[in-house]
Every structure is written in structure tokens, then in C-alpha cells.
Amino acid sequence: MHESAIAKSILEIVSQRLHSIGAPATAHNVSVVFGEFRNAEPESVEFAFDNMKAFYPGAANCQLVINTISAMAQCKRAQHKYHPEASNAYRCPTCDSGIGNLLQGEELDVVNVVVELDQTE
């Protein structure tokens, strides 16, 4: 269950952001991107996130917004751009060579954290 470790890392980044504001604040949502060529299953990460967030001050009501990014490869032989798929053993549909560069699909990033500043007067 490395998805728990991923969820924990996201919550730690949220906590750091809240701390860096230097004023009372709560996290409203955190947006992340998962590339197709990463072992991060959105539903499992979301489940772990929702079960752990209450333990992080200011994050109890934080929503996790996950965007997945399809893989895009450049083939080894002719640099054709294509979407590598398991059904085709990840080979280039044009020339049948393998993945040279992965142009996208290896992302595992926090994009932004939306916070609400508590302005009591």
C-alpha cells in the first residue's frame, strides 16, 4: 500500500504550505497530477488521504483533486509520438519499436493548494 505513503506525502506538503503562511488558515483543496506511468492508483490514494487528513491540523476538510495524465512517448527508432498502451505491449503503432523517451506520463506532483485564511477581527 504505497498509496498511503503518497497520501501522507501530499498531506505533509499541505501542512508545509499552511505553516509557511504564518497565519491561521485551513486547506480547502489540494490538486495533484498522476502520470499514467506511475504506480499511483487515484482511488486508493484518495481513500488513504481521506482517512489520514483529520490527523493534520488545518487539513481535516481538505479535498483531494486528482488529475491523471496520459502517457506520451517518442519511439526509439523513428521518434514517432504515440500513446504507449499495454494492449500493444507499449510499442509504437507505426514502426513497432519501443519507448525511447517518455514525453509525459511520469508526473507525480502537487500542483497547488487552495487555503482559506482565517481573518478574525
Partner 1 sequence: MHESADEHTMERILNKNDELAEHNRDHFREAMTCTVNLMSAPGAGKTSLLEATFRMAGRKFSSTVIEGDMVGELDADRIRKTGVSVHQISTGRSCHLDANMVARLLHSEKMEKTDVLFIENVGNLVCPAEFNLGEFKRVVLLSVTEGDDKPIKYPVIFRNCDLVVFTKCDLLEYVEFNLGEAEKNIQAINPDVVTMQVSSKTGYGMDKWTSWIQSQIEAYRQEQKQTKHVHQHSH
Enumerate binding residues for partner 1 (CB under 8 A).
Answer: 1-2, 5-6, 9-10, 12-13, 17, 21, 25, 28, 32, 37-40, 76, 86, 89-91, 97-100, 102, 108-121
Please identify, using beta-carbon distances, which residue of 54 and 88 lies nearer to partner 1: 88
Decide: 50 and 64 in contact? Cβ < 8 Å.
yes
Phi, psi of 77 (to 5 degrees): -80, -50
Give, for 9, the enclosing helix (H) or strand (E): helix 2-21
In whole angstroms, the minimum distance from the beta carbon of 70 to partner 1 comes to 14
Please identify, using beta-carbon distances, which residue of 54 and 73 lies nearer to partner 1: 73
In whole angstroms, the minimum distance from the beta carbon of 21 to partner 1 comes to 8
Residue type, 101: N
- Taking every pair of Cα atoms in the chain, the longest distance, rounded to a whole number of angstroms, is 67
In whole angstroms, the minimum distance from the beta carbon of 27 to partner 1 comes to 9
In whole angstroms, the minimum distance from the beta carbon of 48 to partner 1 comes to 13
Please, what sign has the CA dihedral across residues 53, 56, 61, 67? negative
Please identify, using beta-carbon distances, which residue of 54 and 116 lies nearer to partner 1: 116
Q: What CA–CA distance (Å, rounded) separates 52 from 69?
A: 25
Please identify, using beta-carbon distances, which residue of 37 and 56 lies nearer to partner 1: 37
